[in-house]
Amino acid sequence: MSIDYALPFGQFPRVRPRRLRRTAFLRDLVQEHKLSTSDLILPLFVQEGTSTKTPILSMHNTFRYTIDELVKHCQHIVDAQIPAIALFPYIDPAMKTNLAEEAYNSNGLVPRAVASVKQAYPELGVITDVALDPYTIHGQDGIMNDQHEILNDITIEALAKQALSHAQAGADIVAPSDMMDGRIGFVRERLEKNGFTHVAILAYSAKYASTFYGPFRDAVGSAGQLAGADKKTYQLNPANGTEALLEATLDCQEGADILMVKPGMPYLDILWRVTQNSSIPVFVYQVSGEYAMLQNAISQNLLPESAILETMIAFKRAGANAILTYSALDVARLMS
């Protein structure tokens, strides 16, 4: 079949965007957003004991590590050129209380884990979670009264103690994820007064009351304590967008160095709005439910593994400076 190209001028498109999609080198040259391992942060779970890593059944290829195993695992992270990890603890239920005293035990699980990782890998960034839910008997992020109300101002005192204990252990970044009012300013003041002016604060500014956290709560052991209760009195309503901008603005004013949007893919619009309205870096957290959905689809051959990379590029396109993802090692492998 012959094709007659001799059509009058004007019937051809004057602009052909497909020209720049024709070959791989052209597509690479004009690519607007690029992903690298330096964009990644790997969340990790730590537990008491030795020589043990416990599978988290609701999260593919994810484990709770004892400190010695955590340190060994960090070699893979350093080799993959992933710049930082975020630590989350699994606490023995016998140590949980309403006042969450174990959260700021200077010899507790997280401070010992931080010190061990930093001693072995000084160049690896360590981010710690500042929240009380792994330590409370009810699984909430704050201290509760007899009427089951979360007490904001008492809670932020405990959070400040917790952040200070992490800084003293060598944490590079403390990350309040609790969503209490005023906690960023309170933590910043406590760190400054104790000489930790160099420790950065990653504020979970837009943390939504999402259904996508289920596997994470299994991992830190708070699901049983929460017992079907919700966190809607302090986490954001998924129907609200402008409210996230207010939270981000307040956290900036109180001394945050970095902002966080959580979850990730269902809240790309929030990520974009926060990045467009903020003068400081913004991170995004691809949470456990997102990870589980992707891995389940990949394991059933419903999606190719490259779907993970597509989600990473989506976060970069929406403005994220860095991405917390349980897929960090997989992403590094796929990119290599």
pLDDT tens for 118-170 read 999 999 999 999 999 999 999 999 999 999 999 999 999 999 999 999 999 99
CB atoms within 10 A of CB 202: 28
Query: What local confidence, expressed as pLDDT, does residue 94 receive?
Result: 94
The catalytic residues are 207, 262
DSSP count for the chain of H helices, then E strands? 12, 10
Ranges of the chain with pLDDT below 70: 1-10, 227
Query: What local confidence, expressed as pLDDT, does residue 10 receive?
Result: 61
Torsions phi, psi of 303, nearest 5? -135, 150
Torsions phi, psi of 86, nearest 5? -125, 125
DSSP assignment letter at 226: H
Query: What local confidence, expressed as pLDDT, does residue 153 receive?
Result: 97
List of residues 6+ apart from 51 with CB closer than 8 A: 66, 68, 69
Query: What local confidence, expressed as pLDDT, does residue 2 receive?
Result: 63
d(CA 129, CA 139) in angstroms, rounded, equals 15
Q: What is the pTM of this model?
A: 0.94
Query: What local confidence, expressed as pLDDT, does residue 7 receive?
Result: 58
Query: What local confidence, expressed as pLDDT, does residue 8 receive?
Result: 61
d(CA 156, CA 336) in angstroms, rounded, equals 43
In this structure, are strands 84-89 and 200-207 parallel, antiparallel, or unpaired? unpaired
**Lookup result for tokens 């809240």:** 267
d(CA 72, CA 116) in angstroms, rounded, equals 11
Pick the CATH number of 35-335 from 3.20.20.70, 2.40.30.10, 3.50.50.60, 1.10.3720.10: 3.20.20.70
